[in-house]
Structure 1
Amino acid sequence: MKIEADSPEDYLEKVPEDRKEPMARLRSVIKENLPEGFVETLNYGMIGYVIPHSLYPGGYHCDPDLPLPFMSLASQKNFIAVYHMGIYADKELLDWFQAEYKKTVGKKPDMGKSCIRFKKPDEIPFDLIAELSGKITAEDWIATYEKNIKR
């Protein structure tokens, strides 16, 4: 589901009614828990949290004109998605998240590489997403990105 929006606020206004509250709450817990250095933007048709060019001038290797992506939040056709590049790049963080999710929600997370899918908004573990959001600093993400990138 592509949402044409000019700002994160505009994006949230345009999501389906039953997703407005959980999307707004996810946005809030992410913003409140991300370490300094990340900036909220619209990126790839989603609400994104990136490292701006002022901190990482090289930008994203696939398109250096774009800032370095880290997290995103999106309303997809059949689910709400949180994309977290750190769990894609760091096996230890992925293992931690999957174990904590199972303890919190009672089942394995519905995931693909960096995507965490929530088909039932009432099963979103907001406190766990808040904790995940604060696990990696901007400096740590730049170091992980540079270690894993093949230019």
Structure 2
Amino acid sequence: MQIESVSLDDYLSKIPEERQEVFRKLFDTINDNLPEGFSQGSSYGMIGWGVPLTIYPAGYHCAPGTPLPFISIASQKNFIAFYHMGMYAKPDLLDWFVNEFPKYSKRKLDMGKSCVRFKKMDDIPFELLAEISKKMTVQDWIDCYEANFKK
């Protein structure tokens, strides 16, 4: 379920009211903890942060002329999703997150390759998401991306 929007407020107005407060808190948690240089926007029906073209003119190889995506959040039909491309690309970062998760949540980790799904709004580990948001700088992400994805 993609939600087309032009801003966070526009996105929030299109998700169920009972999710709006927790979604804004998730947005603020990430936005307040990301290292300098990432820019916020919306794409692919999600709210996200990426490396702007002013810093990385090559952009995203899958969508030339667009910023390099890094973290995104989305309100899906049955859950809120947190996407972190660094966990997808760096096994040590993924291992760290998987090992830390039980310290912050009593629930089983529900995760795909880069997507963490939160079905219970009252069990989102904001402190853990703040920590993982801090772990890669813009340059770390560019280096990782070029080493793993750019051909």
Match of 1:37 in 2: 37
Match of 1:139 in 2: 139
Match of 2:91 in 1: 91
Contact 2:4–2:46 under 8 Å retained in 1: no
- Relative to structure 1, the CA distance from residue 92 to residue 144 in structure 2 (aligned partners, 3 Å threshold; closer, same or farther) is same
Match of 2:71 in 1: 71
CA distance in 1, matches of 2:55, 2:16: 35
Match of 2:106 in 1: 106
- What secondary structure sits across from 2:117 in the alignment? strand
Aligned pairs for 1:3-22 (under 5 A) are: 3-22=3-22
The answer for unaligned runs of 5 or more in structure 2 is none
CA distance in 2, matches of 1:75, 1:29: 16
Match of 2:82 in 1: 82
Deviation, structure 1 residue 2: 2.4
The answer for unaligned runs of 5 or more in structure 1 is none
Match of 2:121 in 1: 121
Q: Please, what is the CA RMSD of the aligned residues? A: 1.0
1:74-127 CA-partner distances (Å, limit 9, x unpaired)? 001110001000000111111110111112113441000000000001110001
- What secondary structure sits across from 1:110 in the alignment? coil
CA distance in 2, matches of 1:148, 1:108: 29
TM-score (norm 2): 0.96
Aligned residues: 151
TM-score (norm 1): 0.96
CA distance in 1, matches of 2:90, 2:83: 14
Identity of counterpart residues, as a percentage? 58
CA distance in 1, matches of 2:37, 2:71: 13
